[in-house]
A and B are shown apart, each in its own frame.
Chain A
């Protein structure tokens, strides 16, 4: 117990130091601000007076004004409200799917790294095969079979990103496997689970989380892209992808739908990328070569 208390006490101070360094980097501060804005948008979506899915044919393609801050879409729905609700979908899906991908990657990577040679070879081959299928094609085949849903989007993300994380974990595990402190621990009788959870995972989780943060724009893109194709979030649920698709369909009638669907994707993508770059520079300059 006492050994666990020490790092706990040290953490807040370190976290504050990291935050200060991040804000000191203008790009990191900008990225953080963009993400904070997106999160606030997602949280405050329910406070808006308009219903994101209620049709209002009297005010189709309205220009931005006092009542509709970003105007309305082809069915008279308030675009600003839909954009904010879209932030919820985008953040929940991208962060949720990234966490699942990380868990899958950790599990497979540790298995491949610690397991017998044949298991390692099979897992590597499967990971290589997964990375060889163009993402959208993989998604299209999966979703023609499973039908469009949020779960299908999560599955696609896990299949696309999971192998990447698994490969990184595997490399790290192989490097650590023969480290002296691990050998010592094993000599003392520690089992596989103890070594993996107590020594290996804490050693690799930091860089992995940074990579995952930098992958969030890709995941946001996958969700929006699949929803754009009608294979992710189903209308009338507002997703940036479905808003963009409506905007694309009526691109000659109004520019506001394309802006309400596309701009938040750009902001989130840039936010996470800038923050990821800054985090990487702060924590691990060696990772710069990816």
Chain B
């Protein structure tokens, strides 16, 4: 168990370091002056010179690599080329809004997803099961930004049930405005969760301890919820961990379509302004967050599932 824990953490750190290395390599590989690339075309000569020394580009490559890694790992993502405010602070100011959105999407995904997954596993082969299966792959296939635009069109513009833009003021208003973007982001994951849960429930239902429970005459309901679901739910944790990455991607669109603040909106506006430090900073923050969530998900499963626990400790 401890070995697994250590290996998993080392892998996560290695992944982060590789991403930083790739970023460094990419910045070097771009033809032209990295300072000008970083500052954008509107930078003045004086700005370029100061920035060059500040970035340490007059130093040998090995020193540059060391500096690049150490500043990023200290949480220093550079400063905004225009305002001079630290990028990390700008991103952190926008992060909560995006996290609320991702959290909202999770709620939208998990509740119906689990319900549909359990029902289709218990009614395997029925019409309900087949309809759920087709609907699941359908919502998984359609890109979330297309769903976002149609939700906006139908529920905000045509029906006026929800306000079209902004994050809102006060709890009730904020929640109200969170509904459509959360549905846009979470809808596909209803399908993923229903699918994976159905498959894993069917797998668990075939296991020996479930047969034993049946032989003891326990009620079907108790078996399903207390024994099967308890183990079968674990793969959905992995799926949700992976889902965070795609939800962070989808958040860019949801924030633009629904005019919400957040890191997606931030990075989109930064591209228009060619504000590179913010764009690369956002990439690092979202990647770090994603890797961390997946690490937590994997460790959580190792703790919760006696089978994994035993296998990995062997």
Cβ-closest chain B residue relative to A220:
B143
On B, residues with C-beta under 8 Å from A are 11, 14-16, 18-19, 22-23, 26, 30, 37, 134, 137-138, 140-143, 145-146, 149-150, 152-153, 157, 199, 245-246, 248-250, 252-253, 256-257, 264, 267-268, 271, 274, 276, 279-280, 282-283, 286-287, 290-291, 294
| A140 lies within 8 A of B37 (CB) | no
Alpha-carbon separation in the docked complex, A229 to B279 (Å): 14
Which residue in A141, A255, A274 is a CB contact (below 8 Å) of B280? A141
The reply to whether the CB of A232 lies closer than 8 angstroms to some CB of chain B is: no
How many Å from the CB of B134 to the closest CB on chain A? 7
Q: At the interface with chain B, which of A57-65, A166-174, A265-273?
A: A265-273
Cβ-closest chain A residue relative to B12:
A132
Alpha-carbon separation in the docked complex, A239 to B16 (Å): 35
Cβ-closest chain A residue relative to B257:
A248
Alpha-carbon separation in the docked complex, A133 to B152 (Å): 28
The reply to whether the CB of A137 lies closer than 8 angstroms to some CB of chain B is: yes
Q: In A242-290, which residues have CB < 8 Å from any B CB?
A: 244, 247-248, 251-252, 255, 258, 262, 265-266, 269-270, 272-274, 277, 288-289
**Which of the listed residues B146, B153, B283, B290 has the most CB atoms from chain A within 10 Å of its own CB?**
B146
Cβ-closest chain A residue relative to B287:
A133
| A125 lies within 8 A of B15 (CB) | yes
How many Å from the CB of A239 to the closest CB on chain B? 13
How many Å from the CB of B10 to the closest CB on chain A? 11
Which residue in A134, A220, A229, A269 is a CB contact (below 8 Å) of B268? A229
Q: In A120-163, which residues have CB < 8 Å from any B CB?
A: 125-126, 128-129, 132-138, 140-145
Number of interface residues of A (CB under 8 A): 44
Q: A132-B245, A228-B145 are in contact. Are A27 and B287 (CB under 8 A)?
A: no
| A132 lies within 8 A of B142 (CB) | no
Q: List 12 A-B contacts (CB under 8 A).
A: A27-B134, A125-B14, A128-B18, A129-B19, A132-B15, A134-B245, A136-B250, A138-B283, A141-B280, A229-B268, A244-B149, A251-B157
Cβ-closest chain B residue relative to A221:
B143
Alpha-carbon separation in the docked complex, A143 to B279 (Å): 10
| B150 lies within 8 A of A262 (CB) | yes
How many Å from the CB of B267 to the closest CB on chain A? 6
Alpha-carbon separation in the docked complex, A135 to B141 (Å): 16
Q: A27-B134, A133-B19, A145-B26 are in contact. Are A140 and B142 (CB under 8 A)?
A: no
Q: A125-B18, A134-B249, A265-B143 are in contact. Are A144 and B279 (CB under 8 A)?
A: yes
**Which of the listed residues A140, A143, A244, A266 has the most CB atoms from chain B within 10 Å of its own CB?**
A140
Q: Mark A13-42, 1 if CB is under 8 A from B, else 0.
A: 000000000000001000000000000000
| A251 lies within 8 A of B145 (CB) | no
The reply to whether the CB of A217 lies closer than 8 angstroms to some CB of chain B is: yes
Which residue in A125, A248, A289 is a CB contact (below 8 Å) of B149? A248
- Residues of chain A within 8 A (CB-CB) of B149 are 244, 247-248, 251, 258, 262
Which residue in B15, B253, B267, B279 is a CB contact (below 8 Å) of A128? B15
The reply to whether the CB of A212 lies closer than 8 angstroms to some CB of chain B is: no
Alpha-carbon separation in the docked complex, A148 to B271 (Å): 11
Q: A133-B19, A133-B283, A145-B37 are in contact. Are A140 and B141 (CB under 8 A)?
A: no
| B267 lies within 8 A of A137 (CB) | yes
| A140 lies within 8 A of B146 (CB) | no
How many Å from the CB of A282 to the closest CB on chain B? 16
On A, residues with C-beta under 8 Å from B are 27, 125-126, 128-129, 132-138, 140-145, 217, 220-221, 224-225, 228-229, 231, 244, 247-248, 251-252, 255, 258, 262, 265-266, 269-270, 272-274, 277, 288-289
Number of A-B residue pairs with CB-CB distance less than 8 Å in the complex they form: 134
Q: Considering the complex of A and B, which 6 residue pairs feature the smallest CB-CB distances, nearest first?
A: A221-B143, A136-B249, A129-B18, A273-B141, A269-B141, A134-B249
| B283 lies within 8 A of A135 (CB) | no
| B137 lies within 8 A of A137 (CB) | no
- Residues of chain B within 8 A (CB-CB) of A145 are 26, 30, 37, 276
How many Å from the CB of B112 to the closest CB on chain A? 20
Which residue in A129, A137, A228, A231 is a CB contact (below 8 Å) of B286? A137
Alpha-carbon separation in the docked complex, A125 to B10 (Å): 11
Alpha-carbon separation in the docked complex, A161 to B245 (Å): 15
| B252 lies within 8 A of A266 (CB) | no
Starting from the known contacts A134-B287, A217-B142, 17 additional A-B residue pairs (CB-CB under 8 Å) come to A125-B15, A128-B11, A128-B15, A133-B286, A137-B249, A140-B283, A141-B26, A141-B283, A144-B274, A145-B37, A229-B271, A251-B149, A251-B157, A258-B149, A258-B153, A262-B150, A273-B140
Cβ-closest chain A residue relative to B196:
A289
| B141 lies within 8 A of A126 (CB) | no
| A269 lies within 8 A of B286 (CB) | no
- Residues of chain B within 8 A (CB-CB) of A129 are 15, 18-19, 22
Cβ-closest chain B residue relative to A129:
B18
How many Å from the CB of A288 to the closest CB on chain B? 8
- Residues of chain B within 8 A (CB-CB) of A143 are 271
